[in-house]
Amino acid sequence: MMLKDVWKKFKDEMVDEARKSWKEARERFFLICKKNREVFREETIVGKEKTILAPMKCLEGETVGMFHTHPYGLDIPSKRDIEALIKLEEKPKVYCIAGLPRFLDDRVILTCYDTDDLLRYVRENNLMKMGNEEVVESLFNALRLGKIKNISESFEPKTIVKVEVVEKL
């Protein structure tokens, strides 16, 4: 299963989970698995505000993707995210993050990365020797310049609030 396949099949579910994450101010996580040609997702795990303890391997079948949210941040892996990904024996092919920066109201920014390409960029640029802010900045610039294979989209708020301006007499 490739990047576009995961995006097409799970995009709406990832955006829904991201909106829940924003409302709850808690990280949400799920694995995308494949067994006997069937691709499915495991149950969502809800963590604390900025952390989550989650399994790193599907209970059954091959782990083809991982998804989690950053309820207060961008759709870019943190240094901690990259460290966890590097430690995995069985790396997923696709790594998705929904960012929910508070300055964008409840807009969701969803990005799915080609894991091999993401880790190649990390290695080639020695990102693990940097601090978290430098890692995020480097990845942000790499995405902007098209140096890492990914699919990304911004989703408008689900509810639109109409505001009327009324002049006082």
pLDDT one-digit tens code per residue, 11-46? 999 999 998 988 888 899 999 999 999 999 999 989
Q: Please give the Cα distance from 89 to 102 (Å, whole number).
A: 34
Nearest CA-CA partner of 127 in 68, 82, 88:
82
Q: Please give the Cα distance from 7 to 110 (Å, whole number).
A: 10
pLDDT one-digit tens code per residue, 139-159? 999 999 999 999 999 887 664
| Predicted local confidence at residue 85, as pLDDT | 92
Helices 115-124 & 79-87 angle (0-180, nearest 10)? 110
Q: Please give the Cα distance from 64 to 41 (Å, whole number).
A: 10
How much of the chain, in percent, has pLDDT values that exceed 90? 62
CATH C-level class of 3-155: alpha beta
pLDDT one-digit tens code per residue, 38-93? 999 999 989 876 666 777 889 999 999 999 998 888 899 999 999 999 999 889 99
Say if residues 60 and 33 touch (Cβ distance below 8 Å): yes
